[in-house]
Structure 1
Amino acid sequence: MLTTPVRSDPRATLRAGLPDRYLTPIDIAELFEVPLETVYQWRKKRTGPPGFRVGKHLRYDPAAVHRWVAERAIEDAA
């Protein structure tokens, strides 16, 4: 019996708070429950988590995303 691989929810792949791979813009949109266009606007305005290019592909380091979230939490608490 063949099974079709199912794309796992990035929130379900978190281990010790960080996924095992670099995140895509789609992963970021799913994690923060925002439209994909919002992720691209964050990047354009330099207000979202820091991303980087691998060729033509945009990727996010899970550790950098974690730091970005922590910084937002500190700013909101102040």
Structure 2
Amino acid sequence: MSTAREPSDPRATLRAGLPDRYLTPDDIAEIFEVPTETVYQWRRKRTGPPGFRIGKYVRYDPADVRAYVDQRKALDTAA
């Protein structure tokens, strides 16, 4: 007897606590609990996690976001 399995949601697959897919500005805003406009301001000021463009869309690599968080944590504990 086989049981039907629901297709897995790609957002549910985690790598180091982050989704195993490229993240959108909305994802970043949700992760950091800030407005999406703040994410765009970080990008303009080059102060947030590094993103890249795919055509007209901005995406973030989860590994880069993790490295950014680790860097911020290290700077915060060193101060």
Q: Could you tell me which residue of structure 1 aligns to residue 23 of structure 2?
A: 23
Instruction: Name structure 1 gaps, 5 residues minimum.
Output: 1-7
* Structure 1 residue 13, shift from structure 2 partner: 4.6
TM-score normalized with structure 2 length:
0.80
- CA distance 1:63–1:15, shift in 2 (3 Å): closer
CA distance in 1, matches of 2:39, 2:71: 17
Count of aligned residue pairs for this structure pair: 69
Q: Could you tell me which residue of structure 2 aligns to residue 57 of structure 1?
A: 57
Same amino acid, percent of matched pairs: 72
Instruction: Name structure 2 gaps, 5 residues minimum.
Output: 1-8
CA distance in 1, matches of 2:24, 2:39: 10
> Over aligned residue pairs, what C-alpha RMSD do you find?
1.6
Pick which of 40-49 and 17-26 moved more. 17-26
* Structure 1 residue 16, shift from structure 2 partner: 3.4
Residue 43 (structure 2) pairs with residue 76 (structure 1)? no
CA distance in 2, matches of 1:16, 1:44: 27
SS of equivalent residue, structure 1 residue 53: strand
Structure of higher CA gyration radius: 2
